[in-house]
């Protein structure tokens, strides 16, 4: 595959999403190796081009977390499932092509995204589970590393945001199922400290109960697969 020295060069060559992603990963890898690099793919216009190549019609670099990932019916910020599916498919392709090499407990783990890929298929000799909503939630969580809180690291770049998700999944494939329970418990506890009437807490209690059931089901799924 053709290598490019700048993001603009790749764009001029009409590179597709996979090739643009290869450029991003190559640049990040060079930086990790201590080389001098220019993160030219983080400019707002460059992020817009990357989003378009990925089939995402919005420029994430120009949007807030809540605009990219609006609240769903359970009052949880979630990236639209179509956009999340496009990011997930790209990351699967990068793992397939050995551009991303995730490891879990120091062991190579190519099936680390299988919980979220469409159910009933196989990748890296393991079955997939179809929990796309959880991946969409994970992306929303990691947008906190973008333009949201004044410590911009990713510029809301879809691939870099997905790579942060991948790093946490290397700790625990149930990381985000557990995180949702923990964050909901925290919201509920803080509201109780303010003596919020129960009728105003009912939705949070219901959300916590749902999150706990989801985590329980995910654990059961892992036990069955073990």
pLDDT score for 43: 96
Q: What tens digit of pLDDT does each residue of 43-62 get? A: 999 999 999 999 999 999 99
**Please, are residues 117 and 128 in contact by the beta-carbon 8 Å criterion?**
yes
**Cα–Cα distance for residue pair 203/207, rounded to 1 Å:** 6
Pairing, β 107-108 against β 122-123? unpaired
Q: Which region holds residue 80: left if phi is over 0, alpha if psi is between -120 and 50, else beta?
A: beta
Please choose, from the candidates 119, 199, 117, 113, the residue with its C-alpha nearest in 3D space to the C-alpha of residue 163. Answer: 113
Kindly state the DSSP code that residue 103 receives in the 8-state scheme.
Answer: E
pLDDT score for 1: 67
How many other C-beta atoms are found inside a 10 Å radius of the C-beta of residue 9? 14
How many other C-beta atoms are found inside a 10 Å radius of the C-beta of residue 67? 11
pLDDT score for 226: 66
Kindly state the DSSP code that residue 201 receives in the 8-state scheme.
Answer: H
Rg (CA), the chain: 19
DSSP 169-187: HHH-TTHHHHHHHHHHHHH
Q: What tens digit of pLDDT does each residue of 62-86 get? A: 999 999 999 999 999 999 999 999 9
Domain boundaries, the chain: 7-173, 176-225
Print pLDDT tens along the chain (226 aa). Answer: 678 999 999 999 999 999 999 999 999 999 999 999 999 999 999 999 999 999 999 999 999 999 999 999 999 999 999 999 999 999 999 999 999 999 877 788 999 999 999 998 999 999 999 999 999 999 999 999 999 877 899 999 999 999 999 999 999 999 999 999 999 999 899 888 888 888 888 988 999 999 999 999 999 999 987 6
Please choose, from the candidates 214, 156, 221, the residue with its C-alpha nearest in 3D space to the C-alpha of residue 183. Answer: 214
Please choose, from the candidates 158, 118, 119, the residue with its C-alpha nearest in 3D space to the C-alpha of residue 138. Answer: 158
Kindly state the DSSP code that residue 39 receives in the 8-state scheme.
Answer: -
């Amino acid at each position: 595959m053709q290598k490019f020295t700048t993001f603009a060069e790749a764009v001029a060559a009409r590179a597709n999403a996979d090739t643009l992603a290869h450029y991003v990963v190559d640049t990040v890898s060079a930086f990790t190796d201590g080389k001098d690099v220019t993160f030219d793919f983080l400019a707002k216009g460059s992020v817009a081009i990357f989003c378009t190549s990925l089939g995402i019609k919005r420029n994430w670099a120009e949007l807030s977390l809540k605009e990219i990932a609006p609240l769903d019916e359970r009052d949880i910020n979630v990236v639209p499932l179509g956009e999340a599916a496009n990011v997930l498919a790209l990351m699967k392709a990068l793992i397939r092509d050995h551009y991303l090499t995730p490891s879990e407990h120091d062991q190579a783990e190519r099936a680390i995204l299988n919980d979220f890929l469409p159910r009933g298929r196989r990748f890296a000799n393991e079955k997939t589970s179809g929990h796309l909503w959880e991946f969409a939630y994970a992306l929303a969580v990691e947008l906190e590393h973008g333009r949201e809180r004044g410590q911009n690291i990713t510029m809301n770049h879809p691939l870099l945001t997905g790579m942060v998700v991948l790093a946490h999944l290397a700790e625990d494939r149930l990381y985000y199922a557990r995180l949702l329970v923990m964050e909901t418990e925290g919201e509920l506890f803080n509201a109780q400290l303010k003596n919020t009437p129960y009728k105003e807490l009912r939705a949070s209690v219901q959300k916590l109960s749902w999150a706990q059931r989801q985590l329980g089901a995910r654990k059961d799924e892992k036990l069955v697969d073990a």
